[in-house]
A = this chain, B = another copy of it.
Amino acid sequence: MQIVKDHGPITGESIAEKLNLTRATLRPDLAILTMAGYLEARPRVGYFYTGKTGSQLLADKIKKIKVADYQSIPVVVNENVSVYDAIVTMFLEDVGTLFVVDDESLLVGVLSRKDLLRASIGKQELTTIPVNIIMTRMPNIAVCYKDDPLIEVAERLIEKQIDAMPVVRKTEKGYEVIGRITKTNMTKAFVALAKDDLL
């Protein structure tokens, strides 16, 4: 690595000469350093030093994880269902966030446990108020796409202080909900990282 730092770009042959080694002896080491991202190899030019430390390389790898790699199945309710029915759905499906859609299955709102808890201690009759009265509505909903880097969505969940975000597909009419990404998914990604499942 020091030779490449000082003399790069430099061919494998020239590195071998400087070390008094044959190219064949050196090849596996150069392969490892290149695979690990410390060196980069360009045909007909040679090796050069990428300047990246081990933890920068790790950060690069984390940035390649997509939302699609960790997303869950979304649970949606129609905007006309009652708050009571939404709470029942939340318990049956055992999720912390419901996405609200209109009759064309387009995203119109989000309901968190907090929204439902707030409504449930109010004075209103839960079986008669529709969820579209209490939900967080478009355009105040943070959304993400399946190809977004997972880590960027993690940062947005923290920044916006929300537990979940719908994964959407954009259409001419609006957003279709195709997934759900939560702090549970982020915790799973964190565990996978430590278990070396992901790298």
Interface residues of A, Cβ cutoff 8 Å to B:
1-2, 19-20, 25, 28-29, 36, 54-59, 62-63, 84, 87, 90-91, 94, 96, 113-114, 116-118, 120-121, 126, 151, 154-155, 157-158, 161, 163, 182-184, 186-191, 193-196, 199
A187, B2: Cβ atoms closer than 8 Å:
no
Q: Which residues of B contact A63 (CB under 8 A)?
A: 194
How many subunits of this chain does the assembly comprise? Answer: 2
The listed residue (B29, B62, B91) touching A194 by CB distance below 8 A is B62
A2, B20: Cβ atoms closer than 8 Å:
no
The listed residue (B28, B116, B194) touching A59 by CB distance below 8 A is B194
7 A-B interface contacts by CB (under 8 A): A36-B54, A58-B193, A90-B117, A91-B114, A113-B117, A158-B187, A183-B184
Q: A59-B196, A196-B55, A199-B58 are in contact. Are A151 and B191 (CB under 8 A)?
A: yes
Closest to A25 in B: B2
Q: Which residues of B contact A1 (CB under 8 A)?
A: 29
B113, A91: Cβ atoms closer than 8 Å:
no
> In the complex the two chains form, what is the Cα distance from A184 to B56 in whole Å?
24
Closest 9 CB pairs of A and B: A183-B183, A55-B199, A120-B120, A186-B187, A62-B194, A190-B190, A113-B113, A151-B194, A183-B187
The smallest beta-carbon distance between A117 and chain B, in angstroms, is 5
